[in-house]
Structures are given as C-alpha cells and as structure tokens.
Structure 1
Amino acid sequence: MPVCVPVKDMKDTAAFARTVESAPGPVTVTRNGYDAFVVMRTDDYEAMQQELAKGRLLARVARAEREYAEGRYEDAPAFLDSLRSRHGL
C-alpha cells in the first residue's frame, strides 16, 4: 500500500525519517492534497537506477543485434581505417 504524508509532517524530521525507512516503497509527500514529491531510501533508489541502466543496456544490445542482422555493421579494421582517413590520422 502506498504511503502518503502531508508536507507539514516533515517538520518532525526524526519521525519522517522513520516513516521513510519503514515504508515498503517510496513515500509520496503531498502539498494541499496534491503530490509534491517522492522520498525513498537510498538502497531503493540505487536499485531503481541499476534496473534503468540494465534496461538501457538491453535496448542497446537489441539494437546492435538488429543492425548486425540487417548487415549494417563494419568490422574493426575497416572502421579504424575509415576513422583514420576521415580525420587524417
């Protein structure tokens, strides 16, 4: 179940910290009855960032596999030769 607290509850920082630490997920802070921002434990945030990074990596791998299957690739020596000629190296 999501945890929501009004922004005024943040005045008691120790109690608010306990709320965030004991919540099963992110804590939504509301202002005037509307969502203002979300607070979460550092471990949860880092895990979320790891999952996002994995998703970006998997998307790039899938794109590379499609490009390879379509023949849109260069082998390393040909690529390096094209870089050298393009940049006068």
Structure 2
Amino acid sequence: MPQIIPIRDLKNTSEISQMCHESNEPIFITKNGYGDMVIMSMKMYEEKMFMLDVYSKLNAAEEQLAEGKVLDGDASLKSVREKYNV
C-alpha cells in the first residue's frame, strides 16, 4: 500500500528519511489534497532506474525482432572469437 503524506509533514526530515529507507515503494506527497511530489531513498531510486533501463533495452530488442533486424547467433559468435582470438 503506497504511503501518502501531506507536504506540511516534510518538516520532520529525520522521520521522512527513515520512512523512505524503510519503504519498498515511493512516498507520495500531497499539496492541498492533490498529488504534488514523490520521494524515495537513493537505493530505491537506483534500483528503479536500473529496472527502467532493463525494460527499455528489452523493448528495443523486441522492436528489432519485429522489424527482422536479427543476426545469426553462430556467425556472430564465430566473428567475435576470430576478432579476439578466443
């Protein structure tokens, strides 16, 4: 369940920091009853950005497959082995 707190609670910086580090999801900040910001720990941010990058690369790969932009695996491995004398 996402945590939602009003913007006035940001005065309690130590408490908010602890909430961010203990939570496995972002914390939503409201202003005048409406969504305004999202905060999270640096660790969670890095994990989320990593996963976003992974999904982006998977999406690009699926598009290449759909367009027929594929290489023969055996030929590619042979080329790499010859290039690096492996």
TM-score (norm 2): 0.69
Over aligned residue pairs, what C-alpha RMSD do you find?
Answer: 1.6
Inter-partner Cα distance in structure 2 for 1:37 and 1:12: 16
- In structure 2, what is the equivalent of residue 34 of structure 1? 34
Can you list the C-alpha shifts for 1:28-79, whole angstroms capped at 9, x where unaligned? 111111111100111111111111111111122222223336xxxxxxxxxx
- In structure 1, what is the equivalent of residue 82 of structure 2? none
Instruction: Determine helix, strand or coil for the equivalent of 2:67.
Output: helix
- Say whether residues 1:9 and 2:9 are aligned partners: yes
Q: What are the ranges of 5 or more consecutive residues in structure 2 without an aligned counterpart? A: 70-86
Inter-partner Cα distance in structure 2 for 1:23 and 1:31: 21
- In structure 2, what is the equivalent of residue 59 of structure 1? 59
Inter-partner Cα distance in structure 2 for 1:16 and 1:63: 41
Inter-partner Cα distance in structure 2 for 1:22 and 1:60: 34
Identity of aligned residues (%): 26
**Alignment length, in residue pairs?**
69
TM-score (norm 1): 0.67
The structure with the largest alpha-carbon Rg is 1
Inter-partner Cα distance in structure 1 for 2:44 and 2:35: 20
